[in-house]
Structure 1
Amino acid sequence: MTNCNTPFITCVDLGGTKLAIANIANGEIIKSHTVPIDASLSKDDFNAFLFNNLTPFVTKACRGICIGVPGLVESGTGFVIEVLNIKHWQNVALKTLLEARFTRPVLVHNDANCFTYGIYKSKDYQGYENLVGVTLGTGLGAGLILNGRLYTGKQSAAGEFGSFPYLDGIIEDYCSSQFFKKQGLDGAATYQQAQAGDNSALAVFAELGKHLGHALVQVVQAFNPEKVVFGGAIAKSAPLFIDVLQQTLLKQLPQSIYNALQIHYTQDTNTALFGAYQLFLDEVATGE
């Protein structure tokens, strides 16, 4: 049971196409809001958009803010270095700006790290100390849990295999919504067609699974995780590509590594928000 005086954390999941905000208290969402973003806004206008959407959430009982952003973040300082899908929103002292505006402690992470930590802390994955979280949406993001700890690297980019060279571009070109655009397809429409049994649409998702399999081979070989968990907008289509993905892994991985690996997916759209909540509790609240 919560009331207006119950302390909460304001958690933010900033994606390539939408902004999701939730106040979370005692592990429960007590208020939430999702709004599309305009990725063409100037830096100042995007900051204003972010502030305006946060303001109704940061009320007296707010203990602090944790925000996940889809790009490179300087660990510790909360400085956003680069966000590929929001072209003008680069080199932003986000932690400094938000703390000055809202007078609350602020934690800034990469959004895929928030998702991965949300997976790691969820009841469904308790006991797994080595896992990879992969977000499939506007782009491809990834986070690492190694030996029970979130490993981020200096710029929160550890595990971001989406930018690895692949075929005529990078992995993200073939393992995100960019894959559909590259073929002149609408991802949502292709999904509906595949669900209806259209063979050409099913073949598109089979090809997606093959590309994801090739990409994951490198990650699995490098980090030897127990689990890989997919999330993001494209994860709902996982039943259409996961068998081909598994077959690709089976062909390319050593048998012992393949046998120790489990591939899962989640359609829970709040995983990154709960990951942000847990990160704030573990990295900020414990020192208050």
Structure 2
Amino acid sequence: MWAFGAYSYVVTAFSAAWFARRSARAAGAPISLVESVSWQGASYALWLPVAGLVWAVLRRFGAGGRGVAVLTLAMIPVVALESLGAAWVDMTFRAPDGGMAEGLDRALSRSPVSILLYTALAAAGLAAAHRQRAVEAQTRADHLETALTEARRVVARQAAPAERLTVSTGSRRTPVDLSRVEWFSAAGNYVVVHWEQREGLIRETLQNLEGRLDPAIFARSHRSTLVNLARVRETQSLSDGSWRLTMESGAELVASRTYRDDLLARLGR
């Protein structure tokens, strides 16, 4: 992004300098190459802090509705200040004896171009921010898929008999292989066990249960949910940065952004 900005500045300044020399020659007041490059370089250098402002706004507010709203509101003072600054640069190089009225007239005449350039900068910043978000989302999705594949491999190569949980289902107590469990959900001092479209209870907190399970297979996807990664059929990134996890049974769970990052960190991704 910064390399593109530097390239755009250099190309724009030299192109404007070439145009300024032609215009000055046609008006009978030729200027040197050095003067024209210095003039236009100083004029378009005013856009460098504007580019920094766009970058700072997008870092602070994101590329969504809030970021667009802030950039839109900032356009009014930015365009006014840039137009005045550019008019001052023009008068410094070409009309040093001009008065305030001439400066305001030059600033007003530059406003349409300033609006266009500001809009282009904001659009480029938004495009770069959205691309970065898409790249990060795809990277996280790839890491999650790798983690799911590893969880399935761990389950497949386990030689020891599967650990069992004794689950209360109504008045009965049912043994359930841990590998058959799709997910656990918190219910106060109990945990609801979900397996093969069935449910049961165990008297234990979700935090204690999580502490004795293999983190390569079971991971927290939400403050109240613990998921068997080997039983996740597919994943989908959501617009808010969270994930939708579709289990083998068809049940859909959400991995919030907080636990999404924690999940990848715990799995070493």
TM-score, length-scaled by structure 1 = 0.26
Structure showing greater Rg: 2
Bigger proportion of residues as strand: 1
TM-score, length-scaled by structure 2 = 0.27
